[in-house]
Amino acid sequence: MRRLELVSRDLHRILLGDQSIDYVLVRRRGRRGVGLKVDAAGLTVSAPATLPIARIEDFVRECERWVLKKLAQWSGKRVRAVEWRDGETLPYLGDALVLRVDTGTRDGVELADGELRATLRDPAGERIQRAVVAWYKRAALAHLAGRTFSLASVAGLTPPRVFLSSALTRWGSCNVRREVRLSWRLVKARPALADYVICHELAHLRHMNHSRAFWAEVERQCPGYGELRRELHATDHLYRTF
């Protein structure tokens, strides 16, 4: 795969409709066209190293309706950033945990009585986050792998190998080697939503496509999956906070 050399990354502003929009312009040597991305960070424009700014912004204006629509969608999905301190609330299996931080002689994180108790020798924000995320990944592997094996058995399938991913935009994937990858962040969602994602990936063990037969298999494994799919799409931003 061709590597594109980063040349610059600068903040710019453009008028779209009646809105003044800040965007990040990323120039890379070897890039051939202009690309647009809108996410929680806003608008990012990727362009060739030497393409004039006027031509870049002409392209952005041509895509004005799409950009404004996406920015509006993300605006409605903005959530407060997590503060890594004692008393913060964190999502887990569709519920909320209270983070308790204490100083101790050994580092450790455990779940007890609705609290996530982090004991650290040096409880600074970044260290708290690393310890808590490591706990989430352990909890996610246990929960998601267990549900995958159970749901595969109910569906009459040989359980696949289960791995975790750190994907932010893709909750799951399945390949021809019968490997299912699930985003560890799914452990933040209520169990029924994670089950839908798991059933979606298990259906790929029978149909490695998105044909009518595939969706019929998803419905067989997860009746009424459409409601869960819509709920996940509407709330998935809540699970991307860390």
CATH at residue 142: 3.30.2010.10
Same domain, 122 and 220: yes
In a domain, 81, yes or no: no
**Chain position carrying tokens 């969602």:** 189
Mean pLDDT of 75-91: 85
What tens digit of pLDDT does each residue of 199-233 get?
Answer: 999 999 999 999 999 999 999 999 999 999 999 98
Same domain, 71 and 162: no
Instruction: Count up the domains in the chain and report the number.
Output: 2
Same domain, 187 and 131: yes
pLDDT at 3: 66
pLDDT of 46 > 50? The answer is yes
In a domain, 189, yes or no: yes
The pTM of this model reads 0.72
pLDDT of 89 > 80? The answer is yes
User: What is the C-alpha to C-alpha distance for residues 151 and 147, in angstroms, rounded to an integer?
Assistant: 6
Among 28, 51, 75, give the residue marking a domain's end.
Answer: 75
Same domain, 11 and 98: no
What tens digit of pLDDT does each residue of 128-155 get?
Answer: 999 999 999 999 999 999 999 999 999 9
Domain that holds residue 56: 5-75
Residues linked to residue 11 through DSSP beta bridges, in sequence order: 24
Same domain, 109 and 34: no
- What mean pLDDT value characterizes the chain? 92
Same domain, 71 and 97: no
Number of neighbouring beta carbons within 10 Å of residue 46: 18
